[in-house]
């Protein structure tokens, strides 16, 4: 049977994101684990959520959604660049726009607030 040491628990808490740490229910921890939990929260300048309240919902933030949208637009630009190589020479302006516009849109999405 695996016996957890204080050092193992401390390293685990240190490796967790702040969101993961705040989602832990301190009431369900052993007294030793609760002490290490409080130390890690203090080290990060966080405060434990009140018992019975939800700390942080497990959902994607607006920034995460924007990053995904920008990544998809960049994939579109790469695909358009690949396809544009097979077009006749007269379509260079169109193929350039097909690559440039998704890139510009991705930058706009990432930098807006």
Give 55-80 pLDDT, tens digit per residue. Answer: 555 555 566 777 888 888 888 888 87
pLDDT tens figures, 6-29: 999 999 999 999 888 988 888 889
Q: DSSP 3-state assignment of 57?
A: coil
Q: DSSP 3-state assignment of 50?
A: coil
| Contact in structure between 87 and 95 (CB atoms under 8 Å) | yes
Distances (CA, A) of 109 to 60, 66, 81, 95: 16, 6, 21, 22
Higher pLDDT, 107 or 22: 22
Q: Is pTM beyond 0.95 here?
A: no
Residue 92 sits at the vertex; the CA angle it makes with 88 and 98, to the nearest 5 degrees, is: 115
């Amino acid at each position: 049977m695996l016996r957890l040491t204080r050092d193992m628990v401390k390293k685990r808490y240190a490796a967790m994101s702040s969101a993961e740490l705040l989602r832990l229910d301190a009431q369900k921890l052993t007294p030793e684990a609760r002490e290490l939990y409080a130390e890690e929260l203090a080290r990060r300048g966080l405060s434990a959520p009140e018992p019975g309240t939800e700390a942080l919902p497990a959902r994607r933030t607006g920034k995460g959604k924007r990053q995904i949208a920008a990544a998809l637009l960049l994939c579109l630009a790469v695909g358009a660049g690949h396809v544009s190589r097979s077009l006749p020479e007269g379509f260079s302006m169109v193929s350039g726009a097909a690559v440039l516009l998704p890139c510009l849109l991705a930058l706009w999405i990432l930098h807006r607030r």
